[in-house]
Structures are given as C-alpha cells and as structure tokens.
Copies of this chain bind each other. A is one copy, B any other.
Amino acid sequence: MSAPEPDFFATIRWTPDGLVPAIVQDAETSEILMMAWMDREAILRTLATGQTHFYSRSRRKIWHKGETSGHLQHVESLWVDCDADVLLIKARQVGGACHEGYRSCFFRRVDREGRLEVAATPVFEAESVYRRGERE
C-alpha cells in the first residue's frame, strides 16, 4: 500500500517495535470492546477501508478484524491521547468483538475476593464462528 503517511504519524510515540496500542470503544453504547496493537500499515489500512486492522504481535502480521467472523468494526473516529502513545477508535461493532463470543473482551470482573467472575452473556457461539484454534 503506497498511501502517504498522514501528518499525525509524526506525533505518535511508537514502541521500539513500531507499534501503538489502540482501544476500541463502541460508538453507540460507549462500551469498551477491546484493546489491540497497530503498526503504521494497520492504521493506513484502517483509514483506507474504514474498518479496523491490527497488528498481531504473536503472529507478526496484520489482521482485519471480522475477516473470518464477519464481526467487522466500522470506524467512526480516531483519537490520540495527550502523550500520543495510545489510540482510541470509536467504531460500530457488528456482532461481538471477542473471539470467545462476547460483545466485549472485558467480560470478566474481579470480585470482592479477588477472583474473576464472568459478568456478561455471550452474543454469539464462538465455536460456530471461529474454526478451531483460529483467532482474529
């Protein structure tokens, strides 16, 4: 992709690996859906398509959110924090953001005893959407 780099790239404080964390917030409900990492290319593709793309640190490649599941994130706006080391994306989420079947990846709450409790209901069947071992 040969799109010119947008001006704000010069402001971003990239990690040594050239990444920046991106929080995705539901543009309609304001629920926080997920956090993932982006490199320059992931941001360029996100801006070009209007759909979120991220960089997988484990697989070392770009992934298009929803490519397998259809659970796309349509970007409404992109924000940068005061230190320019975190992005915030407000997006319209199709289906659920979480590969475990939940609307948000933050479906577990720490209870009074310091244990994790599931505090949400799945919105889709993860097994029927993702193939075994597949993530996006």
Contact A23 to B32, CB < 8 A, known contacts A78-B109, A110-B6: yes
Is B116 a contact partner of A88 (Cβ separation < 8 A)? no
* A62 at the binding interface (Cβ < 8 Å): no
Q: Quick one: which of B34, B83, B108 contacts A80, CB cutoff 8 A? A: B108
- Size bin of chain A's contact surface: 35 or more
* A86 at the binding interface (Cβ < 8 Å): yes
When distances are taken between beta carbons in the complex, the residues of chain B under 8 Å from A8 are: 110, 114-116
CB-CB contacts below 8 Å: A23-37 with B: 23, 25, 29-32, 34-35
Q: How far is the CB of A71 from chain B (nearest CB, A)?
A: 14
**Minimum CB distance partner of A107 in chain B:** B82
Give the CA-CA distance A57 to B26 in the complex, in Å: 29
Q: Quick one: which of B6, B77, B82, B99 contacts A100, CB cutoff 8 A? A: B82
Give the CA-CA distance A113 to B5 in the complex, in Å: 11
